Structure 1
């Protein structure tokens, strides 16, 4: 295949990927780079396109890789992130009415509010270390690794969570952790009155759960449709009535509350 037909590799093609690279390069103030100069950036981009980065490993708050450079042996690079706390992130999401951002994340989206809470925002949030002799804050090899990380973030937003020290399960668990808090010692001893925090942090007693009337869903189904569905599963017309009775009995057993609980 000729070089002209080889697709050009890209990185920072999404909002989160671009924001990650901006911090690494020092562009967070919107001006020209203050951490990585243009010469380093240009060469690092070529390293990325030519796949000089090897053995990329993404872990909680840490990225490591080897980069082929100007010497015979590759250089070892480690990026260390200032990690986020899942509980703090979800608390801030809740305060901003953006808990649904977690659901957006499961669909592969990159919601803005969640990103603002997880993404690094300043150069100090990402430390880089390389075995090369370059004394720059961001050497060519560290930049090339950062571009690989940005490309992974472009492919999956969950990559950002990982490198920033958390994951979707931790965030969902933290979002669902609304442990009831009693308002008085009597409430605590009672053990029956559910109490939760309201939006402003005060305690609020929840109303009792409703007691729904007993029902049999089979009686609410369209009889013609039910029989057609049963026939499709192989039930003969002669066995139809008995099968419907068995379904009703099965439903009663499923919803029956044990008396010894």
Structure 2
């Protein structure tokens, strides 16, 4: 009865056209530009959904997602299918408890280099490690971590409407990585306020200056992504004459961390770089199986 097997739900016809729907910026190939959005999509692609994945990506690119909202523990979307009434989609993910967020924030505030990158709109790779070390992975590790629901008549989960939502959500994370943290229970404003308080007067100016470049904006997967990382932090700066800054030339713009950033990577780095193999040799499902095997061997 599934559409991947040519069952009854594949016979509804083409989806109804949507005016003003959210369209994926990617028009071909893979969706997701940042490492965190690609990491999130690895979970979806590990489901080995076949044509459901393909049709969900087509829905995302055609603008069939009418609305997408991110809230703590819940992503909701409205997706237009072939029926007159759009489908209601919900994807739930447990939020992290306040005590865990407090530990993460203390570590971020203690390393100005990492917190400055985060506040500039760039998720440092070490952030994933911090959550993993705390026993709470930042990203879903499998389909069981997500509670998915769609009002469409297709009983299979995830359906193409859920798949389209995942793709648009990944692009929303590209445009604003704070949305990923918001889904896990910490909004942009809450995180920035907490970091300011922890860093105190000695570090608040650096945090505020960098945070000023990350203004609140609604999730709009069809809009152009704002500059991220160093590009955002440096935007609008006016260079000073060299004679006025030569004595500070070798001084870092933000305090360096007590422990330099590590280049250590997980055993699945090569899998992230290569992408999914062809369907004939296992497809995306093979990537997830190899990743688990590599991690087990790494222990």
Using structure 1 for the length normalisation, give the TM-score: 0.55
Verify: 1:17 aligned to 2:37, yes or no.
Answer: yes
Aligned residue for 2:141? 121
Instruction: Verify the 8 A CA contact 1:65 1:78 in the aligned structure 2.
Output: yes
Q: Determine which of 2, 5, 8 is the counterpart of 2:27.
A: 8
SS at match of 1:120: coil
**CA spacing shift, 1:155–1:13, aligned 2, 3 Å:** same
**CA spacing shift, 1:110–1:177, aligned 2, 3 Å:** closer
Q: Distance in 1 between matches of 2:65 and 2:49?
A: 20
Q: Distance in 1 between matches of 2:111 and 2:198?
A: 16
CA-to-partner distance for each residue in 1:212-261, whole Å, 9 max, x for gaps? xxxxxxxxxxxxxxxxxxxxxxxxxxxxxxxxxxxxxxxxxxxxxxxxxx
1:40 shift after superposition: 0.6
Instruction: Verify the 8 A CA contact 2:64 2:79 in the aligned structure 1.
Output: yes
Q: Distance in 2 between matches of 1:102 and 1:170?
A: 14
Instruction: Verify the 8 A CA contact 1:87 1:174 in the aligned structure 2.
Output: no
Q: Determine which of 71, 77, 87 is the counterpart of 2:89.
A: 77
1:108 shift after superposition: 1.4
Verify: 1:62 aligned to 2:81, yes or no.
Answer: no
* Backbone CA RMSD of aligned residues: 2.7
Q: How does 1:234-249 map to 2 (within 5 A)?
A: none
Q: Distance in 2 between matches of 1:98 and 1:129?
A: 39
Bigger mean CA offset, 160-169 vs 39-48 = 160-169
Q: Distance in 1 between matches of 2:98 and 2:164?
A: 29
Verify: 1:165 aligned to 2:178, yes or no.
Answer: no
CA-to-partner distance for each residue in 1:180-229, whole Å, 9 max, x for gaps? xxxxxxxxxxxxxxxxxxxxxxxxxxxxxxxxxxxxxxxxxxxxxxxxxx
Higher Rg of the two aligned structures: 1
Aligned residue for 1:153? 173
Aligned residue for 1:109? 122
Aligned residue for 1:211? none
Q: Post-superposition, which runs of at least 4 consecutive aligned residues in structure 1 deviate over 6 A?
A: none
Which ranges of structure 2 fall in alignment gaps of 5 or more residues?
1-24, 132-137, 200-299
Instruction: Verify the 8 A CA contact 2:36 2:173 in the aligned structure 1.
Output: yes
Q: Determine which of 64, 68, 77 is the counterpart of 1:52.
A: 64
Instruction: Verify the 8 A CA contact 1:16 1:110 in the aligned structure 2.
Output: yes
Q: Distance in 2 between matches of 1:21 and 1:94?
A: 29
CA-to-partner distance for each residue in 1:47-70, whole Å, 9 max, x for gaps? 011010012122222111111113
Which ranges of structure 1 fall in alignment gaps of 5 or more residues?
1-5, 28-34, 179-261
Instruction: Verify the 8 A CA contact 1:24 1:126 in the aligned structure 2.
Output: no
Instruction: Verify the 8 A CA contact 1:56 1:63 in the aligned structure 2.
Output: yes
Instruction: Verify the 8 A CA contact 2:105 2:194 in the aligned structure 1.
Output: no
Would you say how many aligned residue pairs link Structure 1 and Structure 2? 165
Q: Which has the higher strand share?
A: 1
Q: Distance in 1 between matches of 2:186 and 2:175?
A: 18
1:39 shift after superposition: 0.9
